[in-house]
Chains A and B, each alone.
Chain A
Amino acid sequence: MLAAEVSNEVQGALELTSGFFLENLWLAALIPAIGFALILFFGKKMPNGGSEFGLASMAASLVVTSGAAWQWLARVDSGKEKGEEAFGLLQTFGRSVPRAAEGGEVKPYIEPVITEWVWWQNSGLEFGIGSFADGLSVLLLWLVAFISLLVQIFSLDYVRGDRRYTQFFAALTLFSSGMLVMVMAGNMVQLILGWEIMGLCSFMLIGHWWEDKYNSHSALKAFFTVRVGDIGLLVGTAVIYFASADWIAENLPGQSGFDITAIQAWALSGDSSASGAAIIVGASALFIACIGKSGQFPLHTWLPDAMAGPTPVSSLLHSSTMVVAGVFLVSRIYPVFWEAFNIANGGLSFIAVIGAITIVAAALLAFVQDDIKKVLAYSTVSQLGYMMLGLGTGAWLPAVFHVFTHAFFKCCLFLCAGSISHSGSHHSFDMKKDMGGLRKHMPVTFGAWIVSSLALTGMIPFAGFWSKDEIVDNVGNNGYTFLMWVGLFGALLTAMYMTRATYLTFFGEPRGAAAGIHHDDDHGFATEFHETILHAEDIDRELVTAGAPAKSLSAAAAHSEDHHDDDGHDDHHGDHGDHGPHESGKLITVPIVILAFLALTSGFANPTPLVHPFGVAGESVERIKTYVEPRAVPVDIEVVGGVSHADDHGDDHGDDHSEEALAPASVDQLSLVGNGVLAADAEGEDGKKEGCGFTTPAEGSVCFFPAVSHAVPTYGKIALALIIVLVGYALAGAFCVAYYGRKDERLVGLTERNAVARGGYLFLKNKYYLDILYERFIVRFVAHPLSKAAYWVNQNVLDGTVNKVGETSKNTGTWIYNNIDQKVVDGAVNGSGTVASETGHGLQSTQSGKVNQYGALIFGAAAVGAIVLVILNVN
């Protein structure tokens, strides 16, 4: 039924290798989808509630994506080996480039492996669904499959005994499938498909315990806020589709404005359609969707509330994978943003500004959170800001690299938080009430937390150092000095809030549940359903619990015995006999340790500072750069666009370039081979940048990626970044000890004495009043006065008119019947009189005269019609 239309992969003389997994990458998404269906229909009957289907499908998916990753590496390597031999003199932008043997570097464009079937058609064009394998998609596919598998393992123990265990695994598996569908999308519509499936799963999983109104409210809020952004996704996709349609129809026949490669090529084509208002509107609209999905300011407010879901969900969806969808979208069709926001020439882009604001705004909010998951949630928002900042300033590679490393350490941090609540703080996430001093009880969790925190804060040699510092470095290198300082300031804040969270959780005196005391009010957020404004007089109560030692809460201990409230909050399970803090079981600690190990090592996937300035390794260690970053080289259209009208372009080519004279036969050869070209950082003799994204590619060739530049790290910059982080640790550490530990008098009550401190604290505690604005004003206005007003108009104006007309005609009919029909005409049947009177009768009694009425109306209509016809015929 599905006519397989495997894309005709043009390899020509380049002979890029491919392989089963690359060509059948769609299996990676299909298997979890089948797993989801199996859980849905048979899960309840299985001994482990269907989780076995979830785990098995994720494991299979990991095999497929790992195989694909391996084959992708081989494919890129094959380009290195054979590409150079295949060329004589290569040409780009009208000048020739020496081959590698002559001192030039030849890096051919590595064509993605596309497998597609016809999915739908419209206006004669066929649109596909399938898989699209290139460096970026393969990297993220592997990442998603890997993290999903670990989180599912973690969940086995964590949600054991939950009343909706089966549904939980079903939704988790469907989510993975949706994310994989999105990442492997070769066109925008498939991307939207995956994007929205993730939104659905997010809704289902945040609202997992929907009996509690706060949870269902949070689920709604998440879906709804993201949906607001999705307006941009629909609009942006439409704008890009139609703006690029003509160029694509002319230059890349057989492709459409939904196809990723076609969009990339169009954006960098230099065509007038790709530099007008349309691309700016399209890119801005798409970025609005990313703001919603990736929790950027000011639509980030759903993400902290999304923590109402079970911790594995926070870990998988709301930190490491789903929320990077917006970042992924920007990096996927990066040329569009590159052109629209003029990133090539250092334009201050919408993306960079939003990213920078998000970094600082979210990091500041992390300081006033008591809920450990909310600290991490705001931290996620802030880190997503770094990624956007990178993308917005041309630092594509570090941003994508940061997606990769961030997934490991943030996922790990969340799982640690889950482990703490599972075994350390009795299902509470409140750092001030129920934690403290846990390092002794939970050494494995503590170790993993510390490693991941160091990674998050960017300490050498942990993962975050290699990626985050690269972003900051490149932002500066690309000429955005102010934004670089914003990034560094963000790093300071990150170091500080993580120190605070670490101190409150693992150091100091045990409090509440961590000290073995349980109290009913342990959810913290269950009471927080309505967005309330915190006022100054509430501050005292807010802070007093912070440093409160265990004893002051001993009153609460009275409740501890009968605490087992059965509302299933988080990781409740029946046989939880031990109430004291202890280390979690293997199913929980093993995933944590694996992730912590990766938090330590994953940065070495692309350790640029090892090349410069440390000089301990060659450029081959920059693996992400080599294998993931698309090559910014022009490629002959025939190579990517199939064989149609190859002759025309071959001729054009010959006319345009004098170099052609060197090898007349090479016209054909080139069209088979593809133009491999020089290293990405093309800089002409006059210092003006050249290459894809800077100059228009030659007639007959297209670019798929701009020639982004890469910063060369220096000792000074590295030292500066590390010093900032250390200062952050020191400042925050000193504050915590003084304030939470010794209750230093100069600090306690500061917010009461100092108006500035109070104002700032309230501003933060109320989350910049954004939630209040959204919920109290916008949502409430639409849901109540506006909809009520619309409905009032409906009932009283529109429907009122209808009823009035009916009533009037009934009265008219009665009047005519009584006065004209009966008195004047007296029994003679007058056509129009009958119409009106029968209508009137019809309204009076419904049971009689229906057929008459029908006939009368037809008759009346014909009468009116005759009149109209006369008028029309006169015309």
Chain B
Amino acid sequence: MNNLTDSNWVLSLGTFLPLLGAVVIMFFTSKDDDQTPKVIGIVTAAATLAVGVYTLIQFDYDQADRLQFFVDAEWIEVISSGYTIGLDGISLPLYFLSMVVTLLVMIYTWDNMPDAGNPKAFYSLMLILQTGMAGSFIAQDLILFFVFFEVVLLPMYFMIGVWGGEQRKYASLKFFLYTMFGSAFMLVAFLALFFQAGDAAGGVESFGFAHLYEFGALIDRDVQVWIFAGMFLGFAVKVPMFPFHTWLPDAHTQAPTQGSVILAAILLKLGTYGFVRIALPMLPKGAEAWAPVIGILAVIGIIYGALGCLAQTDMKRLIAFSSVAHMGYVMLGISTLTEFGINAALYGMVAHGLITGMLFFVAGSVKHRYHTLEIKRLSGMLLQMPKMGWILGFAAMASLGLPGLAGFWGEFPAILSAYNPNEALSEELFRVLMVVAAVGTVLAAAYLLWLYQRTAFGEPGDEFKGQSEVEQGKHEGLAHSLSSAANDHGDHEVIKDVQRTEWIAWTPFLIAIVVFGVYPQLMFQVLDPAVTALVETINAGIKLP
């Protein structure tokens, strides 16, 4: 494969700059100083994003199907693993998204530090996390990918375990162990693939993606199916796919807002990205054998996740369950093994990241103000916090796949693609899956609008009535609102509408949801060539005798 190696320092810089920031925070700030770590963190993330923007500008969009900024250096020679990195149309959006999300989450944290405090540790962890996420999307070598993939785990484990809710210990451990369980199988599968592809290549062994794309397909079908099974477990836990999803609601519910946002926006995508980048093209026949299973589980996830949402009484847990349903659409698209489906899946990944990230932000801010997320107790949010209520409505509409907003472009083509899956797959099965997935859109509307009706519409409940800034009148001055709050409600603080840091952190999300909804070509033109090349690889592999 012909790779572009111009300005190849960009990716390494973009990936490891956050690590540098983390080191600076860890060794050069004092634990009592709350501001400096925040400043260093945000500056580092901003600098990283600047590198990301530079990458975006330097990227050659006419050749989005080729790896760009390609580096292939020696790394661990003894196991034939190299420091091979590169970026193509498939990874570019996710790579960039991870940078944007990290910066915005850090800005949000400026005023919304979780209760446990200690910004020094929190900001360093977020920066380490960023390195892991970005690294996973640029790695072109299995061992390198695995290292980055695992690097992500620890910071998130600590974020949930230290800054999380009441059951944080249970949730963080479950998250950690469950993912490790999957990773173990994944690693085994990687090793098996390495040796088998080495045999197929006549003794030339490498963990490089390009090598495995070429020779992985030559492995016997039966062996491919087994190796795919290992990868499937690893990635399916991460996605998470039904029935490996049970860590997700706990992790999301217990994680601090920042953790939930990053988890939803980027971490889950590592699983789906792994399928697209690694499992499908390296093991085409394995993918063909597993595709019906993935498709069925994906569609079960759509319906099941939606039903789970309907049963929730907690707003954040409901949003967490909706991720199971939404990732079901992504996996359905992937399981069709067609350009149409995989394009939709990749679009859906970014869209879900933006939309669900936004929903978690809102949930976090609601929790911050009301100290509860119990749907029963929240009511009339539109009266108490009109702007927040509108943002929630907007995000809910985006989440249910309204055309004109980003979510539609992941959902609609994914459903569409199931009508016409890869030639090697059963049309009948996938057409049934299409109809069931379409029913899922109704359920999505049901749980999201029901949530909206119960929390935003109506009058505020007695518990919180009269405590918001809006109700108390904007012009009456702080003194009055404080005194009335003190008189009427004792120690309750005034419920304020969206604050400045929230606006700064959220506006890019809101704009991106609209822009990617109105003009999807912006991203499809980057994805499509790369996906077309990828599907060619898969098809060629399936057709091998």
Which A residues are within 8 Å of any B CB, using their own CB? 2, 118-124, 189, 192-193, 195-197, 200, 203, 207, 210-211, 213, 216-217, 220, 223-224, 227-228, 230-231, 234-235, 237-239, 241-242, 245, 782-783, 786-788, 790-791, 794, 798-799, 802, 806, 839, 842-843, 846, 850, 854, 857-858, 860-862, 864-865, 868-869, 872-873, 875
Contact = CB atoms under 8 A, between A and B. Distances in A.
Contacts of A783: 310, 446, 450
A861 B532 contact: no
B439 interface: yes
B420 interface: yes
Nearest to B310: A787
Interface of B is mostly: helix
B524 A120 contact: yes
- Nearest first, the 10 closest Cβ-Cβ pairs linking A and B are A861-B184, A865-B188, A123-B339, A787-B310, A791-B311, A790-B307, A210-B457, A787-B311, A193-B403, A799-B246
Contact of B188 (A193, A211, A241, A861): A861
B428 interface: no
Interface string B148-189: 000000100100010000000100111011101101110110
A119 B520 contact: yes
Interface stretch (B95-103, B191-199, B254-262, B283-291): B191-199
Kindly name the residue among A227, A241, A786 whose own CB sees the greatest number of chain B CB atoms within 10 A: A227
Interface in B171-229: 172-174, 176-178, 180-181, 183-185, 187-188, 191-192, 195-196, 220, 222-223, 226-227
B402 A220 contact: no
B459 A211 contact: yes
B340 A192 contact: no
B449 A220 contact: yes
B521 A120 contact: yes
Interface stretch (B137-145, B409-417, B479-487): B409-417
Interface string B217-249: 000101100110010000000000001011100
Contact of B521 (A119, A211, A791): A119
Given A802-B174, A857-B180, A869-B195, 16 more contacts: A120-B409, A120-B520, A121-B521, A121-B528, A189-B403, A224-B442, A227-B442, A234-B416, A238-B415, A783-B446, A787-B309, A787-B310, A802-B246, A846-B161, A862-B187, A875-B222
A118 B223 contact: no
B404 interface: yes
A637 B443 CA distance: 43
Contact of B187 (A195, A239, A858, A873): A858
B246 A794 contact: yes
Contacts of B188: 861-862, 864-865, 868-869
B334 to A, nearest CB: 14
Nearest to A167: B390
Interface of A is mostly: helix
A216 B311 contact: no
B435 interface: yes
A791 B243 contact: no
B304 interface: yes
Nearest to A193: B403
Interface of B: 154, 157, 161, 169, 172-174, 176-178, 180-181, 183-185, 187-188, 191-192, 195-196, 220, 222-223, 226-227, 230, 243, 245-247, 304, 307-312, 338-340, 343-344, 380, 382-383, 397, 402-404, 408-409, 412-413, 415-416, 418-420, 434-435, 438-439, 441-443, 445-446, 449-450, 453, 456-459, 519-521, 524-525, 528, 531-532
Nearest to A867: B188
A263 to B, nearest CB: 15
Contact of B223 (A196, A203, A875): A875
B246 A798 contact: yes
B308 A791 contact: yes
Nearest to B307: A790
Given A210-B457, A242-B420, A872-B192, A861 B246 contact: no
A873 B195 contact: yes
B187 A865 contact: yes
A529 to B, nearest CB: 12
B446 A224 contact: yes
A223 B220 CA distance: 51
B402 A196 contact: yes
Contacts of A873: 195
Nearest to B324: A794
A246 B208 CA distance: 38
B74 to A, nearest CB: 23
Kindly name the residue among A223, A224, A861, A875 whose own CB sees the greatest number of chain B CB atoms within 10 A: A861
14 contacts: A2-B519, A119-B521, A216-B458, A227-B445, A231-B438, A234-B415, A238-B418, A782-B307, A790-B308, A794-B308, A862-B187, A868-B226, A869-B191, A875-B220
Contacts of B439: 231
B416 A241 contact: yes
A206 B178 CA distance: 46
A231 B442 contact: yes
B446 A850 contact: no
Contacts of B531: 123
Contacts of A220: 449-450, 453
B196 A238 contact: no
A846 B173 contact: yes
Contacts of B344: 122
A189 B409 CA distance: 10
Contacts of B191: 862, 865, 869
A216 to B, nearest CB: 4
Contacts of B176: 850
B243 A798 contact: yes
Contacts of A237: 416
B212 to A, nearest CB: 16
Contacts of B246: 794, 798-799, 802
Nearest to B519: A119
A210 B309 CA distance: 23
A238 B528 contact: no
A235 B435 contact: yes
A196 B404 contact: yes
Nearest to B435: A235
A401 to B, nearest CB: 30
Given A224-B449, A858-B184, A875-B222, A210 B415 contact: no
Nearest to A779: B446
A869 B188 CA distance: 8
B382 A210 contact: yes
Nearest to A839: B177
B416 A788 contact: no
Kindly name the residue among B181, B344, B380, B418 whose own CB sees the greatest number of chain A CB atoms within 10 A: B181
B535 to A, nearest CB: 8
A796 to B, nearest CB: 11
A32 B520 CA distance: 21
Nearest to A860: B184
Given A122-B343, A122-B413, A861-B183, A207 B457 contact: yes
Contact of B397 (A122, A200, A872): A200
Nearest to A857: B180
Kindly name the residue among B404, B408, B531 whose own CB sees the greatest number of chain A CB atoms within 10 A: B404
Contact of A786 (B184, B187, B247, B307): B307
Nearest to B243: A798
Contacts of A197: 402-404
Contacts of B409: 120
A187 to B, nearest CB: 13
Contact of A790 (B311, B413, B459): B311
B460 to A, nearest CB: 10
A621 B227 CA distance: 74
Contacts of A216: 453, 457-458
A854 B184 CA distance: 11
A213 B174 contact: no
B157 A123 contact: no
B173 A869 contact: no
Contacts of A790: 304, 307-308, 311
Nearest to A809: B177
